[in-house]
Amino acid sequence: MPDKDKLSQPNTEEYMVKADGLVKIYKTKETEVLALQGLDMEVKKGELTALIGNSGSGKSTFLNMIGGIDRPSAGSLWVDGKNLFTMSEKELADYKRDTVGFVWQNNGRNMLPFLPVLENIMLPMNISGAKKKRERALELLERVGLSSKKNSRMNMLSGGEQQRIAIAIALSNSPKLLLADEPTGSVDTKTANYIFDIFSELNADGQTILIVTHDIQLSKKVKRVVAIRDGKISSERVLKEGYKDRVRESGIDWFAEESQDEYAVLDRAHRVQLPQELLAEIGITDNKVKISSKNGEIIISKP
């Protein structure tokens, strides 16, 4: 059962997502896998945030929980003032329809291949009973730059076009939160830049967006990047002031530029995760380090 002290509702005017001590355990007959180990994270309304981490770090598990696809094992998770821990199945279905929009990496999960593009975009609105569905679908097609593809089916579209249509489908019911799982993972650089521009424009209009990505170039353009390691938040990167108005410039080498400042994140017990490469650099080979302070700095060294 969740800790009752953690069920107090967060400031819904400021935060879209608030996770406290989030734990997820996957059980089989033979073993248990701890996918999230007390994860704490907040996403403010109107933010464009990226989640990064190695395979198995817990980032996709976290995204699935926010999307209402998976349930937490412990802790608390609030999205748009709704407590995902206490929702009934009916409330969860309404939440997935009205509060979140999901863009999957696998385009087969985004579209029905036997329906034309326009009907795919209208489908979520048919389920919700929205009015002016066709007008809304045509507006979204124009927004992603694919008005000419309204009568096309999935097999007539490139991978990049399918992903852009997926964004339109995810936006069809005007979700409060847009979730994207590796949206540029299977497209070329030019298409990836175009997709990021769509996200940037949506965010400039107030859309809250959370992206899971391995795309280094994309993550270096995002104003806030959260790194997950071993089921916990390990660090955050924040876009430097000089780059905030330059994310759409074509002349910047985003792979080479140091466009962000990186910060380690302290958990509730003031613990911090140290990257393995830094520990190796100073010769740490076991689980002990020496900690001291000097001139306002904390120094971690080999015993």
- Specify the fold of 11-99+177-194+201-270: Rossmann fold (3.40.50)
The mean pLDDT of 27-43, rounded to a whole number, is: 84
Percent of the chain surpassing pLDDT 70:
96
Please report the pLDDT score of residue 6 as a whole number.
Answer: 45
Each domain of the chain, given as residue ranges in start order, spans 11-99+177-194+201-270, 113-174, 273-303
Give the confidence band of 53 by pLDDT, cuts at 50, 70, 90. confident
Please report the pLDDT score of residue 14 as a whole number.
Answer: 87
Between 10-19, 116-125, 157-166, the lowest mean confidence (pLDDT) is in 10-19
Give the confidence band of 229 by pLDDT, cuts at 50, 70, 90. confident
Between 16-20, 33-37, 147-151, the lowest mean confidence (pLDDT) is in 33-37
The mean pLDDT of 43-64, rounded to a whole number, is: 89
- Is residue 5 predicted with pLDDT exceeding 70? no
Q: What is the mean pLDDT of the chain?
A: 85
Q: What is the reported pTM?
A: 0.85
Give the confidence band of 9 by pLDDT, cuts at 50, 70, 90. low
The mean pLDDT of 112-117, rounded to a whole number, is: 91
DSSP assignments along the chain, one per residue:
---GGGGS---TTTEEEEEEEEEEEEE-SS-EEEEEEEEEEEEETT-EEEEE--TTSSHHHHHHHHTTSS--SEEEEEETTEETTS--HHHHHHHHHHTEEEE-SSGGGT--TTS-HHHHHHHHHHHHT-SSHHHHHHHHHHHTT-GGGTT--GGGS-HHHHHHHHHHHHTTT--SEEEEESTTTTS-HHHHHHHHHHHHHHHHTT-EEEEE---HHHHTTSSEEEEEETTEEEEEEEE-GGGTT-TT-TT--TTT---EEEEE---TTS--PPPHHHHHHTT--SS--EEEEETTEEEEE--
Give the confidence band of 77 by pLDDT, cuts at 50, 70, 90. very high
- Is residue 1 predicted with pLDDT exceeding 70? no
Q: Looking at per-residue confidence, does 251 or 53 come out higher?
A: 53
